[in-house]
Amino acid sequence: MQQILLCDDDLMNRKVASKILHKEGFCVIEASRGNEALKILSEHAVDLILMDLMMPVMNGYETIRQIKSDPMLCRIPLIIISALSDTHSIDKGLGLGADAYVTKPYNIETFRRCIADTLHAGTSHV
């Protein structure tokens, strides 16, 4: 079973995404902060990271920067899941090495397809 790290500070967003992911057969590990996600990544192997951008303490941009600069973590596919839908935010997130960017609230089919494509083909979506 593939394991996904879901990092989002909003509990309801995590619940919705986790429910979708569980129905798709994934094991989900949840984090509510960027620093918590980094700790989980140091202890668990994951197949995919879903990362929110707007979080307290350590935002998603900084968390992505640290993940992508770590030789042990940089190859893990990462999808940004964010309410930010402006071109600057999308370009900045993809520029840091994210494989895809999905805006919230997301269409469930688009969300599923993006995850499947990122895991299997390594393609990017916006």
Q: How far apart are CA 103 and CA 28, in angstroms?
A: 20
Q: Taking residues 91-107, report their average pLDDT.
A: 95
Residue 63 structure tokens: 């968390």
Residue-wise pLDDT for 10-47, tens only, equals 999 999 999 999 999 999 999 999 999 999 999 999 99
Is pTM beyond 0.75? Reply is: yes
Q: Measure Cα distances from 91 to 52, 65, 120 in Å.
A: 15, 14, 23
Ordered structural domains, the chain, with CATH: 3-120 (3.40.50.2300)
∠ CA(75), CA(8), CA(31), 5° rounding? 70
